[in-house]
Amino acid sequence: MDITPPQARYEQVADRLRQMITDGELRPGDPLPSETYLSEQFNLSRPTINKAVRVLVTEGLVLVEHGRGSFVKTRRPLLRLSTERYRRGVDITPPFMAEAAAANVESTVSHDTEKADAPESVAHRLRIEPGAPVSRTRYTFYADGEPVQLSVQWESLTLTRGTAIEVPEQGPVGRDGVVARFDHIGIHVTHVHESVSARMPTPVEARELQVTAGTPVFHITRTHWAGETPVETADITASTDRYAIEHTQQVPLGEPA
């Protein structure tokens, strides 16, 4: 195979391998040809081939298993973060569990709650004084045993102290979503605001989500409101190789222009 300038040699090798994956010549789970074989085919050094493979690893197309080799990454079902994920009704399944079920993947959650003093940014979002008492719950959400989402959730203890929902995930409605939990104590969520952006993960996030440093993440800032009162706020980090953002926008009927 000929490699021609001006594009860097390793980039051309990465392009060829990427095309083989895209065209289905290399399928999910298939091993990549060895670096020795590719080096001979492209007439390039093994370090150059290795650099090309690392590009595909960074893009999330290839997985390197030490001692075994490099493999085309298995394409896994995407979970959907829909604008319709917060509902009140008979089905009180938390949004993540519902999304996982819709994607036909097994979902599990780990969590840890502690009392804390509200940081200034959280206090601003909850409309309380900085340092006011809050509950802080850290979540890790798993799909088929793999971590796909992290969340840190805060609730004002001024609203929940002494109630059945003071400690999220405990009590008679602990496994329900935020809307159902606050309904239980007579505080009715009227709307949820989310702000979504994309960025690169921090080293801690990359480690906890088991993604490469080059895989972007969605960062979602969420707040549940009961009228003019914010009752919960959270910072959510989701791996972009497992999530797609899905929105449905209603278009009201009106007089033609």
Q: Examine the fold and report which residue of 72, 87, 112 is the final residue of a domain before the chain moves on.
A: 72
**Contacting residues for 150 by C-beta, under 8 A, at least 6 apart:** 138, 139, 140, 141, 205, 208, 209, 236, 237, 238
pLDDT digits (tens, 9 = 90+) for 64-114: 888 788 999 887 767 776 666 777 765 567 778 888 888 888 889 999 999
* Chain position carrying tokens 């390039």: 44
pLDDT digits (tens, 9 = 90+) for 198-242: 999 999 999 999 887 778 999 999 999 999 999 999 999 998 888
- The reply to whether 89 and 160 lie within a common domain is yes
The CATH number for 135's domain is 3.40.1410.10
Give dist(CA 76, CA 60) in Å, integer.
Answer: 12
Residue 110: per-residue pLDDT: 95
Residue 101: per-residue pLDDT: 84
Range of the domain at 236: 79-246
**Least confident segment among 41-45, 85-89, 248-252:** 85-89
Residue 64: per-residue pLDDT: 84
**Contacting residues for 178 by C-beta, under 8 A, at least 6 apart:** 86, 189, 224, 231, 232
Tell me whether residue 50 is in a domain.
yes
Using CB atoms within 10 A of its CB, is residue 160 exposed (0-12), middle (13-18) or buried (19+)?
Answer: buried
pLDDT at 43 over 70: yes
pLDDT bucket at 25, cuts 50 / 70 / 90: very high
Q: Which residue has the higher pLDDT, 14 or 133?
A: 133
The CATH number for 55's domain is 1.10.10.10
pLDDT bucket at 2, cuts 50 / 70 / 90: low
Residue 117: per-residue pLDDT: 98
Tell me whether residue 1 is in a domain.
no
Tell me whether residue 222 is in a domain.
yes
Residue 248: per-residue pLDDT: 78
pLDDT digits (tens, 9 = 90+) for 133-180: 999 999 999 998 989 999 999 999 999 999 999 999 888 888 788 999
